[in-house]
Structure 1
Amino acid sequence: MMPYFDNFAHDNLPNQELQPDYLFTDLPQFQHPEILNCVDKLLDNHIEEGSGNNICIRNFDTIWTYQDLYEKANQIAHVLVEDLNFKSGNRVLIRSANNPMMVACWYAILKAGGVVVATMPLLRDKELTTIIDCAQISHAFCDKDLEEEMVLVKSDYLKQICIYGNSQLEELMKDKPKTFSNFQTKNDSVALIGFTSGTTGLPKMTSHFHKDILNICECFPTYSLQPTPNDIFTGSPPIGFTFGLGGLVLFPMYFGASTFLIEKPSPDVLLKAIQEHKITICFTAPTAWRIITTKVKEYDISSLRKCVSAGETLPIKVWQDWYDATGLKIIDGIGATEMLHIFISSNEENMKPGATGLPITGYEAKIIDLNGNEVPANEHGRLAVRGITGCKYLNREEKQKEYVEKGWNITGDIFRKDEEGYLWFVARGDDMIISSGYNIAAIEVESVLLTHEDILECAVVGLPDEERGMLVCAHIVLKDNKKASDAMKNRIQHWFKEVAAPYKYPRVINFTEALPKTETGKIQRFKLK
């Protein structure tokens, strides 16, 4: 193996004693040779095995085979090393919506021995600058449609910005060879850096190895989806989010299937794609599943066989409404950028509606108190997980110590485990509302509110209060905004007391036309507090 020229990522990994325990590495599907570039398995092997003419990526305008993606990734890798003064180990940022060229750039960076930093399209220049400075990023690929913010970035680390979309990159690619000798990385070489969406301070850099990328392909999809080469994946999460990276790139390509990429995936566009392109597996967030349910009868979704929800917990009403409308069971799951992808979920055989599920193959979980002791069944506590992947923050020893305790990854979620071992989401650690001595989980209040006939969406937060400590505050989107009134607030409050424990009722109700959300559809509760 050739050593990296630029060792920033490896030099900033947490010390071994601060890293989590890794389990199940003795299982055959998680064993890897020392020399490993994950692109060999995800892309190059399909060419060597004669599957190059199989469709790999589609969108509404384009169809690429595995051969097409392979050749373009190789040409971009040549551009990096021959034209852009790239050195192995350099971090390379990608700024793009979900499209085929973004995937080609993602593979090219790893082929050349780089570290991928894929970002969300909605980030602005200040946020991009912070990311670039934290990871000392030297190069960036940027979709022409998103160039405006990219060129505003001012960082001493950034040396090259290469624009694509009938632009500079395509011009540099056109005469490059269509083969490339992949850089010989080790299985524990850093392949990607994912930035967490923290609300304060510097963002945290989570790092993952080449073997981690292959390991998650043997975990959630094998456990919950059982993919075949005939499957067509689609979804709404950006590839810059590890939920989207797995669901729309890694999983389909690991199993030789295909992916349908959508740059602006509204519910109607998702349904149109499912109908017209016979999608079989769809990944999106609970808020999107709720809206799609109201429109599904207008489309033919008979091709769809697996529905996946993540990003935030899936309300039982959303699950039930979708099942009643389609006969399909949404697969809920919880993952984390720190763990790379989903680690607790279910499949159609072991699903318990309302529960997040069980630890999937490759992981184990327990519920602990503040002292790290496991709590009895059905008691609330902190979720602790360990398995085939784990948290490796770069250059943030104090944050690493917070996330990893005695070898376990502490996700920041409050869960309970029932007598059968099923795990039930209670709240994010900072979403528990303590009012007059009662512990009230925001998600419990939301789940009740969502059953009201006039409520379309809601988000519940705690408001400081001198008398009670905190008040339950509900931000509500009505199906008909014209009904918003003090009288409607009173009706909702009285109704809530009749259908749920009265101490949980929202003492404060704010009507709003829309809830603030991330690009992945997750409600930004911190903006409501």
Structure 2
Amino acid sequence: MASLLDRYVSRSEFDSYEDFKENFRINIPDNFNFVYDVVDVYAKEQPEKKALVWCDDSGEEKIFNFKDLADYSNKTANVFRNLGVRKGDSVMLMLKSRYEFWFCLLALHRIGAIAVPATHMLTKKDIVYRVEHGDISMVICAPDAGVLDCVDDASAEVSSTLKTRVAVGMKRDGWVSFEDEIEAVSADFARPAGEEATSNDDILLNYFSSGTTGFPKMVLHRFTYPLAHIITAKYWQNVTDGGLHYTVADSGWAKCVWGKIYGQWIAGSAVFVYDYERFAADRMLDNATKYGVTTFCAPPTIYRFLIREDLSKYNFSSLEYCVTAGEPLNPEVYEKFLEITGLKLMEGFGQTETIVTLATYPWVEPKPGSMGKPSPEYSIELLNAEGKPAEVGEEGEIVIDTSSGNPPGIFTGYGSEPDRTKDVWHDGYYHTGDMAWKDEDGYFWFVGRGDDIIKTSGYRVGPFEVESALIEHPAVLECAITGVPDPIRGQVIKATIVLTKGYAASEKLKNELQDHVKIVTAPYKYPRVIEFVTELPKTISGKIRRVEIRDHDKVSK
């Protein structure tokens, strides 16, 4: 059969980045629905094609082809419909990395219900907030008694909204057993028609994006969103038809749908899922090499752990391509990984609100630490403090020009919060809130979140460049750079540091780290204040909450 990818793009092969940027287009059909128009097409035309390879720490493994996924998602859709789920209803999926997540997500797409992926680390307060603001009628949970306890406690407060609780992999009073229900239903589910059919403008996904300040925002995506991830998967992650792609992310994060379903399957690649209880670099390497992962995506933090392992023990013969995103890449990690594996790490940038919007594409030679160049169909600009286009080398906010229409994959807005949407989307631009600068070759370089920029003695300093310098020192495991109010300099730079094992806090070490930064980067960027801590404040998704450090310092003063 002809490639499924070719049905949805203007062209699939390109000679250069310029050719790609100018000539790539996504063809969006009317009433596109990923499960009927991709999964079911594979199930009919290539039923044995591998789709999902799953394993866990206990040694259990499951391998599903597209026919399996079509059948299981049909059965799950029947379960949900029997439980009262209808088009437009919101269902929260707290399934970690269990393979049932894919059954449930596809089933919700079949019905036209709104999937609300969520981490298993939510507390009662988090769950109450999401149920109330997202009008969530059903929650489906992995077999974790602590998580189920939190849902039960939350349910007591929001019982009028949260009607149904479904447990996967365990029996519990007051909960529906997923396994019992799925055994009792048919594998036939007809595509809804008429008013129950989905349209391109219907809401597919709702992500509660925690960010680093304020309450979580409801990021809404339409049914056309999966098509936009062709750019993410085929042209940034460089997945191949018949390959096996591994993105490190559990099902609660948007990074999961970036790397474990939509674009990969459209491009013909299976996806790999390792459902681990606790991260261990050696076990991740064992499984990735055992199953023959061909393309790999992880944040720089994961790569920092991987390069500390004895990589000579592993067979990387199947691994063809590696990318990274989620935070800027420290150049020393890039160089070490290249030295060990011979593979260049290709960076990318995007948000829960978008797909990959800047990336080092296959035709682009990477510059370690750079996010790369704009994605096709995305008009990216940098606006300076005056709201004017930034010059080469000048810092500005990354914005997406939407004056001529929204590019595919961009969110519809923040659910039930029009004012919050207007704060970031106005005057023909979506404002990302992230600061960067562009070099003479058109590469973008991350500086930091707008709120995190430090103004000291007339200089503007982004936290990343100082953090990157500090992380090069063997004593530094993690660090966060913030500004501390100062009557003379306006702000001085502060480093909050978690030390690696074998190092102890001391004035001597502080001086050594300060001198290290002065050597690695411009001397005025060195941290005048250093505090050693056992851990950094973070969001549920692992992002450093610099605002919490700043607030603590204000109180301390």
Taking structure 1 as the reference length, what is the TM-score of the superposition? 0.90
> 2:118 aligns to what?
119
Distance 1:478 1:502, change over 3 A: same
Q: Distance in 1 between matches of 2:345 and 2:441?
A: 21
Q: Distance in 2 between matches of 1:349 and 1:44?
A: 33
> 1:240 aligns to what?
252
> 2:180 aligns to what?
171
> 2:79 aligns to what?
79
1:146-225 matches, cutoff 5 A: 146-153=147-154, 154-155=157-158, 156-167=160-171, 168-183=177-192, 184-216=197-229, 218-225=230-237
Distance 1:229 1:297, change over 3 A: same
Q: Distance in 1 between matches of 2:24 and 2:487?
A: 58
> 1:314 aligns to what?
329
Q: Distance in 2 between matches of 1:521 and 1:325?
A: 27
Q: Distance in 1 between matches of 2:426 and 2:386?
A: 10
> 2:69 aligns to what?
69
Q: Distance in 2 between matches of 1:330 and 1:41?
A: 33
Please tell me the residue identity of whatever aligns with 2:316.
I
1:380-430 deviation digits (Å, cap 9, x = unpaired): 011112432324222211111111122221100111111221111111111
1:130-529 matches, cutoff 5 A: 130-145=129-144, 146-153=147-154, 154-155=157-158, 156-167=160-171, 168-183=177-192, 184-216=197-229, 218-264=230-276, 265-295=279-309, 296-339=311-354, 341-350=355-364, 351-386=366-401, 387-391=407-411, 392-518=413-539, 520-529=541-550
Secondary structure of 1:81's counterpart equals helix
- Name stretches of at least 5 consecutive residues in structure 1 with no aligned partner: 1-23
Distance 1:500 1:369, change over 3 A: closer
Q: Distance in 1 between matches of 2:186 and 2:312?
A: 49
Distance 1:423 1:244, change over 3 A: same
Please tell me the residue identity of whatever aligns with 1:459.
A
2:50 pairs with one of 45, 50, 54: 54
Tell whether the 8 Å contact from 1:55 to 1:64 is kept in structure 2 after alignment. yes
> 2:128 aligns to what?
129
Secondary structure of 1:214's counterpart equals helix
1:216-248 deviation digits (Å, cap 9, x = unpaired): 2x2122222332232112232222211222201
Tell whether the 8 Å contact from 1:317 to 1:450 is kept in structure 2 after alignment. no
Secondary structure of 1:48's counterpart equals helix
Q: Distance in 1 between matches of 2:524 and 2:38?
A: 52
Distance 1:27 1:169, change over 3 A: farther
Please tell me the residue identity of whatever aligns with 1:117.
V
Distance 1:55 1:336, change over 3 A: closer
Give the CA deviation at 1:199: 4.4
1:101 aligns with 2:100: yes
Secondary structure of 1:395's counterpart equals coil
Please tell me the residue identity of whatever aligns with 1:130.
Y
Give the CA deviation at 1:190: 0.9
Taking structure 2 as the reference length, what is the TM-score of the superposition? 0.85
1:447-473 deviation digits (Å, cap 9, x = unpaired): 222222433332212222333222211
1:266-325 deviation digits (Å, cap 9, x = unpaired): 323321211211111222111111111111344333322222211111122221221122
Tell whether the 8 Å contact from 1:94 to 1:140 is kept in structure 2 after alignment. yes
Give the CA deviation at 1:515: 3.6
Q: Distance in 2 between matches of 1:313 and 1:291?
A: 16
Secondary structure of 2:68's counterpart equals helix
Per mean C-alpha deviation after superposition, the further-off stretch among 186-195 and 472-481 is 472-481
Tell whether the 8 Å contact from 1:194 to 1:205 is kept in structure 2 after alignment. yes
Q: Distance in 2 between matches of 1:29 and 1:173?
A: 40
Give the CA deviation at 1:255: 2.4
Q: Distance in 2 between matches of 1:272 and 1:235?
A: 15
Tell whether the 8 Å contact from 1:236 to 1:520 is kept in structure 2 after alignment. no
Q: Distance in 2 between matches of 1:132 and 1:521?
A: 22
Give the CA deviation at 1:373: 1.4
Distance 1:491 1:225, change over 3 A: closer
Secondary structure of 1:157's counterpart equals coil
User: Identity rate of aligned residues, in percent?
Assistant: 30
Q: Distance in 1 between matches of 2:219 and 2:409?
A: 12
Tell whether the 8 Å contact from 1:431 to 1:442 is kept in structure 2 after alignment. yes
Q: Distance in 1 between matches of 2:55 and 2:491?
A: 48
Distance 1:394 1:521, change over 3 A: closer
> 1:5 aligns to what?
none
Tell whether the 8 Å contact from 1:311 to 1:521 is kept in structure 2 after alignment. no
Q: Distance in 2 between matches of 1:50 and 1:143?
A: 31
Give the CA deviation at 1:100: 0.7
Secondary structure of 1:147's counterpart equals helix
Q: Distance in 2 between matches of 1:303 and 1:451?
A: 30
Give the CA deviation at 1:252: 2.5
Please tell me the residue identity of whatever aligns with 1:75.
K
- Name stretches of at least 5 consecutive residues in structure 2 with no aligned partner: 1-19, 172-176, 402-406, 551-557
Q: Distance in 2 between matches of 1:197 and 1:29?
A: 32
1:37 aligns with 2:33: yes
Secondary structure of 1:36's counterpart equals coil
Distance 1:456 1:111, change over 3 A: same
Tell whether the 8 Å contact from 1:194 to 1:337 is kept in structure 2 after alignment. yes
Q: Distance in 2 between matches of 1:54 and 1:360?
A: 29
Give the CA deviation at 1:76: 0.9
Give the CA deviation at 1:90: 0.4
